[in-house]
């Protein structure tokens, strides 16, 4: 796992050499399930988008910049995941973030350029460290869906209850009971009907939107709004 990255930064600290990188794992949901965007690097295979910290930039800013560069647009949600280290001749420290993309953002990305989302399940060869980060991110995303509302960032601004349910089912990879799901979601008051209906060739579904931001999200990330990462 350690030919050097083309653009990784050589860093020296009191004679200790290491690389510090920030890596972003961009998730999106499509019909077939949970997907990830990977960069196709020069020769052998795909890599997750990553880059180096620049002057005067915090980690969050850096992750946002990397995400935007890789996706051509800003992600809908970005959160620090974990900091990994890889012990090699030169120690690599990688601060990983995961990004969520709404259906709209996702299709904008696909239109802008040929970037490809791959299903998390059947992903091709990935370097060991990228694979480890991806596996962990997937695990955490699934868990997080249970106790927070980040799931909404994977949908368009207006969505039907069935679409919401499909997202949940994709991420946790399990079928849910429709009635129980609707009851539970509505009981939390986290979404609100927007009046309109989506017209289809069957019975039209009510559209909803995400009602305000979830306080629980902030609580799981340090010191909201203090200019730091």
Partner DNA sequence: TCAAAAGTGTTTGACTTACACCCATGA
Partner DNA sequence: TCATGGGTGTAAGTCAAACACTTTTGA
User: Using CB under 8 A as the criterion, which residues of the chain lie in contact with a second copy when the complex forms?
Assistant: 9-18, 20, 52-60, 80, 82-87, 91, 93, 95, 129, 132-133, 135-136, 139-140, 143, 219-223, 226-229
| 184 binding DNA? (CB under 7 A) | yes
- Least Å distance, CB 19 to a second copy, is 8
| Calpha distance 122→227 (Å, rounded) | 39
Q: Map the footprint of DNA across residues 186-215, applying CB under 7 A.
A: 197, 199-206
| Calpha distance 209→211 (Å, rounded) | 6
| 174 binding DNA? (CB under 7 A) | no
Q: Which does 160 bind (CB under 5 to 8 A by kind): a second copy, DNA, none?
A: DNA
Among 4, 111, 157, 183, binds DNA (CB under 7 A): 183
**56 contact partners, CB below 8 Å, separation of at least 6:** none
User: Which residue lies nearer to DNA by CB, 14 or 179?
Assistant: 179
Q: How close are the terminal C-alpha atoms of the chain, in Å?
A: 29
| Calpha distance 116→27 (Å, rounded) | 12
Q: Which does 161 bind (CB under 5 to 8 A by kind): DNA, a second copy, none?
A: DNA
Question: What is the token pair recorded at 149?
Answer: 């509302």
Asked whether 27 and 34 are in contact (CB, 8 A), the reply is: yes
């Amino acid at each position: 796992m350690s030919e050097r990255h083309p653009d990784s930064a050589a860093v020296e600290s009191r004679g200790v050499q290491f690389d510090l990188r920030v890596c972003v794992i961009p998730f999106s949901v499509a019909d077939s399930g949970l997907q990830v965007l990977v960069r196709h690097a020069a020769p052998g295979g795909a890599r997750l988008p990553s880059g180096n910290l620049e002057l005067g930039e915090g980690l969050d800013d850096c992750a946002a910049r990397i995400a935007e560069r890789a996706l051509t647009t800003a992600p809908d949600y970005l959160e620090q995941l974990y900091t990994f280290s890889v012990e090699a001749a030169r120690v690599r420290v990688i601060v990983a973030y995961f990004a969520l993309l709404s259906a709209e953002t996702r299709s904008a990305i696909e239109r802008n350029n040929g970037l490809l989302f791959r299903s998390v399940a059947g992903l091709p060869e990935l370097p060991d460290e990228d694979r480890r980060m991806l596996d962990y991110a997937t695990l955490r995303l699934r868990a997080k869906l249970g106790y927070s509302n980040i799931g909404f960032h994977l949908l368009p601004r207006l969505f039907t209850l069935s679409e919401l349910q499909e997202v949940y089912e994709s991420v946790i990879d399990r079928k849910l009971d429709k009635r129980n799901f609707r009851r539970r979601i509505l009981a939390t008051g986290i979404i609100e009907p927007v009046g309109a209906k989506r017209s289809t060739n069957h019975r039209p579904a009510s559209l909803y939107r995400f009602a305000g931001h979830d306080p629980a999200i902030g609580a799981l990330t340090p010191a909201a709004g203090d200019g730091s990462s």
